[in-house]
Amino acid sequence: MEGWNEDQVQGCRRSGRRWYARHAFYCKRGKEPQWPPLHASTVLTQLQKPHETFKREDDNLRAYVELDLKEALTGWSRTIATIDGKQVPASGAGPTQPGRVIEFPHLGMPKSKKPSERGDMLVEVKVIFPTSLTLAQKAQLRDIL
């Protein structure tokens, strides 16, 4: 954009925006952009890139933990990184059902209208089942379970 530097454009971007947002930039600097623009000099459309770990659900973030069958039945412990890089512990003491969701309040995305508030981080458990078992393993499992 002519007459604007990168810092000014980054400064107009608000945290917590959804996957699709429009920004209007006016010739008068120092004023809050408004939408819809009446006489905007430039309109940018912001699309959110997918994250490798988290899936966004409004202001909440969903992450997944994969457990093998032994961990799911006997207990497990993991350290999960938040979007800000903080480390939070997650664990299950006994049998853990596939699809169980562990909620970490206020560790999700900032809310666009209230940046001081955040959504939740949701961690969903996925259990990886073995693809095959020997006859001896099947017999042991039948005796145990």
- What is the mean predicted confidence (pLDDT) over 88-115? 91
Q: Please state the rounded mean pLDDT for residues 64-90.
A: 94
Domain residue extents for the chain:
6-47, 55-130
Domain at 55-130: CATH architecture: Sandwich (2.60)
Strands 60-68 and 121-128: parallel
Query: Between vectors from CA 25 to CA 20 and to CA 26, what angle results, nearest 5°?
Result: 155
> Does the global pTM surpass 0.95?
no
Q: Place 27 in a pLDDT band, splitting at 50, 70 and 90.
A: very low
Phi/psi at 10 (5° precision): -65, -35
Torsion sign (Cα): 30, 36, 37, 43: positive
Question: Within 10 Å of residue 53's Cβ, how many Cβ atoms?
Answer: 12
